[in-house]
A = this chain, B = another copy of it.
Amino acid sequence: MAAKKSSFDLDQFLATRTEAVNAALDKFLPSEKTKPATIHKAMRYSLFAGGKRMRPAVLLAAAAACGGTEAAAMPLACAVECIHTYSLIHDDLPAMDNDDFRRGKPTNHKVFGDGIAVLAGDALLTQAFEIAAQAKGWPRYSHKDLILEIAQASGSLQLVAGQVADLEGEGKKLSVAELRYIHERKTSALLCCSVRLGGMSANCTPAQLAALTDFGYHVGLAFQVIDDILDVTQTSEQLGKTAGKDVAVQKATYPAIVGLEKSRKIATQLTDKAFAALDIFKGKAVALEALAEFLLKRDK
């Protein structure tokens, strides 16, 4: 592991991929001047608010692990980022988590008002499918497969289900199983979908897809456990969003249920399982390995 890691420059990978994803998103989205300007300003405000582009990054890294090209993976990378951004805009609404800050900037509804924020989310969700439809289909993975993959990960059984369970769980004492149900849907589903889409964009083998699914599931869960930990241990300035929010609204989190130390252990175990899933790539998944390690050690 150490040897593989030292030979891979993750900072450069992330910097170049973020730049490429931003350029592609800029091309896919209507300009700020396109009528009605308000909605395109609102969509772009949140889409270009400095997000870490982790979902596109794992998607592009998975494509690379399977010998795919960035060109084939890019529309799908942009689509998942649109889905992620839409879900953040709607989650931040007063009717949901009621957050004033995101990525260090006022949330969409604080700038554009609740009505436009709802519509900006709607438009980004719709845009995701418009962009995904422009991806290249493959013999193994047709447009039908790609669209179903995104729709199922984002729908009422996954991403939306996670947000519903999260809303309904506020102020209640949840079990670890119930909390995992939320995390699997709220975070792991779209991250796992991103990793799988990366493989699909490279026309990967069924065995590779199974390995990527295993990897994505565990990294996604680890990612959310760490989010919970950071909410307790970091300041709002460090996070760029309101810290301590989970405790304030009595949201169930890993640290609240099992304590901070055990939460850290769980995150490490999940990441180990994710690493193990990559064995099949025999060292070709260096970017995915580096990303998983980065996600575990991040401090914001």
What separation, in Å, do the CA atoms of A36 and B159 have in the docked complex?
11
Interchain CB contact under 8 A, B164 and A38: yes
B143 touches A39 (CB 8 A): no
Known A40-B156, A127-B151, A143-B144; further 5 A-B contacts with Cβ < 8 A: A36-B161, A96-B119, A119-B164, A123-B155, A147-B147
Q: Is A168 an interface residue (CB 8 A)?
A: yes
Interface string of A113-157 (1 = CB under 8 A from B): 111111101110111011011100100001110011011101111
A interface with B by C-beta (< 8 Å): 30, 34-36, 38-40, 43, 86, 90, 93-96, 113-119, 121-123, 125-127, 129-130, 132-134, 137, 142-144, 147-148, 150-152, 154-157, 160-161, 163-165, 167-168
| Contact across chains for B156 and A39 when beta carbons are under 8 A apart | yes
Overall SS of chain A's interface: helix
The answer to whether A156 and B90 have CB atoms under 8 Å apart is no
- Asked if residues A36 and B118 are in contact (CB atoms below 8 Å), the reply is no
Contacts known (A123-B155, A127-B155); A118 close to B133, Cβ less than 8 A: no
Q: Are A157 and B34 in contact (CB under 8 A)?
A: yes
Contact B43 A156 (CB under 8 A): yes
A130 touches B155 (CB 8 A): yes
Q: Which of A38, A40, A123, A133 has the most CB of B within 10 A?
A: A133
CB distance from A107 to the nearest CB of B (A): 14
Q: List 10 A-B contacts (CB under 8 A).
A: A95-B118, A115-B167, A116-B164, A119-B164, A126-B156, A126-B160, A129-B129, A137-B144, A143-B144, A147-B147
Q: Which residues of B contact A93 (CB under 8 A)?
A: 115, 118
Q: Are B95 and A114 in contact (CB under 8 A)?
A: yes
Residue contact B122 to A160, C-beta cutoff 8 Å: yes
Closest B residue by C-beta to A135: B144
Considering only CB atoms, which chain B residue lies closest to A130 in the complex?
Answer: B151
- Of the listed residues A40, A147, A150, the one surrounded by the most CB atoms of chain B closer than 10 A to its CB is A147
**Smallest Cβ distance from A90 to chain B, in angstroms?**
6
Q: Which of A119, A152, A163 has the most CB of B within 10 A?
A: A119
Partner of A126, one of B116, B142, B151, B164: B151
CB distance from A114 to the nearest CB of B (A): 4
- In the bound complex, what is the Cα–Cα distance between A114 and B155 (angstroms)? 18
